[in-house]
Every structure is written in C-alpha cells, then in structure tokens.
Structure 1
Amino acid sequence: MSPAVRSSLSESNIFAPDDVRAAVAVKTITNKGIELVDGLVLPSACIFIGGRVFLWNVPPITTSWDAWNLDHFKIFEVVIPRPEILILGTGEKSLIPPPEIKKYLSSIGVQLDVMNTWNACSTYNLLVEEGRRVAAALLPLSHRQWDNAPSPSPLTLQQ
C-alpha cells in the first residue's frame, strides 16, 4: 500500500458513507449554554443535524408546551437525509411533549426520544459516534429569547 493511500485511510472513517459530514459534538452544557468541542458556546436553543448546528428560535418550556406548535418541528420533514431518531433535550428537566408532536414526527418516520438536555447531549454524541442518522433539538438550561426574531404563531397542535 502506498504512503498516500495509507495516509488517506488513517484519516477516514471507512464505515461512514461518503456523503456523511463530520459530526459536531457537544463538550458540556452549563448555565451559559451548550458548549461544543471546539469551544463555541451556543447560548440559545439549537438543532444538530447532518453534521451542522442551527440556532432554533423556540419559546421556553416552563411547565407546559402551550406556546409550541408543529411548525417548530417542520425542519425534520424537509431535511435530507431525514434522521431516524430525534433526541429532544427539554432543558434542566425532562418534560414530555404533547402526543401530537410525537405523532407528527412518527408520521414522517422520525422516532422521538425526550430527556433533559444534559442526557440528550450525551445520547446524541454516543449515537453519532455509532454512525446513526440522529438529530438533536436542544433547549439550554436557562431560556434566552432572540431579539427581533420572528417566531411561528402559537397555533393548536392539532393537524
């Protein structure tokens, strides 16, 4: 085997499909936000999908999901390839979403797993390391509202 081939093999995950982007991993979560392994701190909610991170403008979940609607999850309908699992980190505590959210995600082929954000970060990192098609939607430990950002209007969760 030539040195060039040996070098390229040592830097590649031979089990990953060619179109898989290197995953973004979470280092820790604090009251300041979600810290990535590269040191970047995301102070607000975010979505990890397909090796990328997107800020996610969502309302806080205090004790209920009243301000949430299915529009907050539409990204999972249009992204290709669609994740097989969505890990939803609901902040400091695990708060079960309304059945309509799980039903909607299931209808588009996405399994929903809900847990506190600390456990969601660990689970996401583990599943990515295993090569699974996983996404994480993570809420920080303390909610930070975006300035001047439009939000989907709170509609009922019924479709």
Structure 2
Amino acid sequence: MSFRLLLRLRPRSVALQNGRIATNTRLARTIHTTLPVRSGPTSLTNILASETPLAVQVASVSEQGIYLEDGLHLPAACIFIDGKVFLWDVPKSVTQWGREHLTLFEVVVPRPEILILGTGVELAHPPPSFRSYLTDLGIQVDVMSTRNACSTYNLLAEEGRRVAAALAPLSPRRWPKSHLR
C-alpha cells in the first residue's frame, strides 16, 4: 500500500523589488518536515508562533469530493495527518478495508490520539480487525459519516488535538492510478 503526499504551488504575483524580481508563491499546504534547529537564544522571539504544523481544514463536502479551505479539491479517499494530505487508495466498500490500508499509522511520529474515520454518505462499520489494529497502535477510532467526520476533525484540529482523519468520499471512487505515478 502506498500513500502519496499531495502538494501544490500556486504562483500569486511577480513584483519588482529593489531591482530584483520577487515571486510571491503560496503553498496550498504548509509543509513541515523537521522542527527548526536553534543553536541558542536570539534577541527576538515570537511568543505567538507555533512549531506545530497548521491543521488541514475542510471547507465543504459534496458528491464531487472534499473541498479544503485553500481551494484544493479531493475527489477520492484521503488521510489528513500532521498538517499533510495523503491520497488513500482503499476499496470502495468500507467492509473491504483492512489492516494493509493503515500502514501509514505505523510510521507516523507522534501518532495521533484520535483517528476520525469518515465512511461516506452513511455510517458503515469497517471490519473488527481494522479497529483492533488501530487500538493496538494506541490510536482511538471514531467512525462516522464523512460529513460528520469533517466537522469533528475541524473542531478537534482547531483545539490543537493530535487528530487525524481518514475520509472516504460521499460517492465512492478511487484515485486514478495514472495520477499516482
């Protein structure tokens, strides 16, 4: 099972500053790979700054997919974790989901406290092995419809909780393999 990190750069404007060209490029997703290394105290410290990545926020959910606050459209299943979005290649039916679809959670450090599992239009329970596997990893699982999962995820992420969301779209579809290469 492979997970792909979804990133986009959007050029905003090009301006001339002091004789040099400056490009204002906005990341569609804030990317944090490591925490900044500080060799010692500095004279200025921003006490409001956070070293934790910004949470992905869902703006809306429709039959066409999941729309994020930054305008990104996700037509198929995805996982939100630690400020990142991963494409999630799972079978259309929740009853066919298995442990092999959760390998991402074995390598994530720190692991989320809670995984919000959105199963589509209606609540559908995955196989018991799915939930027990996550419990063995120390992750609490809450299963709900995708609309409710998105609302719950947004709320918990705003509170600063270590939360992840694994979301199936309202109308079942998989990521096209040609886009995953």
Residue type of the partner of 2:127? P
Q: Deviation digits for residues 47-93 of structure 1, max 9, x if unmatched? A: 000001111011112xx61x322110111111111001000000000
CA distance in 1, matches of 2:73, 2:176: 18
CA distance in 2, matches of 1:148, 1:28: 25
* Pairwise CA distance, 1:9: 4.3
Equivalent of 1:116 in 145, 149, 153? 145
User: 5+ residue gaps in structure 2?
Assistant: 1-43
Query: Greater strand percent: which structure?
Result: 2
Between the aligned residues of both structures, percent identity stands at 56
Higher-Rg structure is 2
How many residue pairs match? The answer is: 135
Two-structure CA RMSD over aligned residues (Å): 1.6
Taking the TM superposition and a 5 Å limit, the aligned residue runs for 1:25-40 are: 25-40=57-72
Asked if 1 retains the 8 angstrom alpha-carbon contact of 2:76 and 2:168, the reply is yes
CA distance in 1, matches of 2:115, 2:79: 10
Higher RCO (C-alpha 8 Å, min separation 6):
1
Asked if 1 retains the 8 angstrom alpha-carbon contact of 2:77 and 2:174, the reply is no
SS of the equivalent of 2:126 reads: coil
Q: Deviation digits for residues 100-152 of structure 1, max 9, x if unmatched? A: 11111000100000000000000000001111000000000012223337xxx
CA distance in 2, matches of 1:22, 1:55: 19
Equivalent of 1:56 in 56, 65, 88? 88
Asked if 1 retains the 8 angstrom alpha-carbon contact of 2:97 and 2:127, the reply is no
Residue 157 (structure 1) aligns with:
none
Give the TM-score normalised by structure 2: 0.70
User: 5+ residue gaps in structure 1?
Assistant: 150-159
Q: Which runs of 4+ in 1 moved over 2 A?
A: 145-149
CA distance in 2, matches of 1:69, 1:142: 20
CA distance in 1, matches of 2:174, 2:118: 17
Residue 101 (structure 1) aligns with:
130
